[in-house]
Chains A and B, each alone.
Chain A
Amino acid sequence: MMINKIILIKIFLIITVICLTQFFSNNSNAVEPDEILQDQKQELRARNISKNIRCMVCQNQSIDESNAPLAKDLRILIRNKIKKGNKDEDIYEFLTNRYGDFILLKPPFKLSTLALWLLPFTFFAVGVFIILFHNKKSKKI
Chain B
Amino acid sequence: MKKQLLILPSIFFLLILSIFFYLLIIDRNPSELPSTLLNKNVPKFETESLLKNEKFISSQEFGNETTLVNFFATWCKPCRDEHAYIKRFSNEEGIKVIGINYKDNPKKAIQWLKKLGNPYSNVAVDKNGRIAIDWGVYGIPETFIVNSEGVIKYRHVGPVTKKIYKKINLIIGESK
Which chain A residues have a beta carbon within 8 Å of chain B's beta carbons? 56-57, 59, 69-70, 73-74, 77, 96-100, 102, 137
Nearest 5 CB-CB pairings of A with B:
A56-B138, A100-B36, A98-B136, A99-B136, A73-B129
Give residues 21-47 of B contacting A (CB, 8 Å): 31, 33-37
Distance of B34 from chain A, by nearest CB (Å): 7
| A70 adjacent to B129 (CB under 8 Å) | yes
Q: Which residue of A lies closest to B40 (CB)?
A: A97
* 30 examples of A-B residue contacts, CB within 8 angstroms: A56-B138, A57-B138, A57-B139, A69-B103, A69-B129, A70-B129, A70-B138, A73-B128, A73-B129, A73-B130, A73-B133, A74-B133, A77-B130, A77-B133, A96-B36, A97-B36, A98-B37, A98-B133, A98-B134, A98-B135, A98-B136, A99-B33, A99-B36, A99-B136, A100-B34, A100-B35, A100-B36, A100-B136, A102-B34, A137-B2
Contacts of B90-146 to chain A: CB distance below 8 A? 103, 128-130, 133-136, 138-139
Q: How many A-B residue pairs have CB under 8 A?
A: 38
Q: How large is the interface on B (under 10, 10 to 19, 20 to 34, 35 or more residues)?
A: 10 to 19
Q: Bound complex: CA of A97 vs CA of B135, how far in Å?
A: 10
Nearest CB of B to A132, in Å = 14
Look across to chain B and name the residue whose beta carbon is closest to the beta carbon of A96. B36
CA distance A18 to B99 in the complex (A): 50
- Residues of B within 8 Å of A99, CB to CB, are 33, 36, 136, 138
- Output the least CB separation between A109 and chain B (Å): 18
Chain B contact surface mostly? loop
Compute how far the CA of A69 lies from the CA of B103 in the bound complex, rounded to whole angstroms. Answer: 10
Residues in B neighbouring A59, C-beta threshold 8 A: 31
Min CB distance, A105 to chain B, in Å?
A: 14
| Bound form: Cα–Cα A90–B87 in Å | 40
Complex formed: what's the CA distance from A70 to B33 in Å? Answer: 16
Among B33, B130, B134, the residue within 8 A (CB) of A56 is B33
Which residue in chain B gives the minimum CB-CB distance to A76? B128
B161 to chain A, nearest CB (A): 21
B residues near A102, Cβ cutoff 8 Å: 33-34
Which one of B33, B133, B138 has the greatest number of beta carbons of chain A within 10 Å? B138
Once bound together, how far apart are the Cα atoms of A74 and B134, in whole Å?
A: 11
With CB as the reference atom, state the residue of chain B lying closest to A72.
Answer: B129
Cα-based distance from A98 to B133 in the complex (angstroms): 7
**Distance to closest chain B CB from A63 (angstroms):** 11
List chain A residues, Cβ under 8 A from B139. 56-57, 70
Residues of A contacting B34 with CB < 8 Å? 100, 102
Contacts of A97 in B (CB 8 A): 36
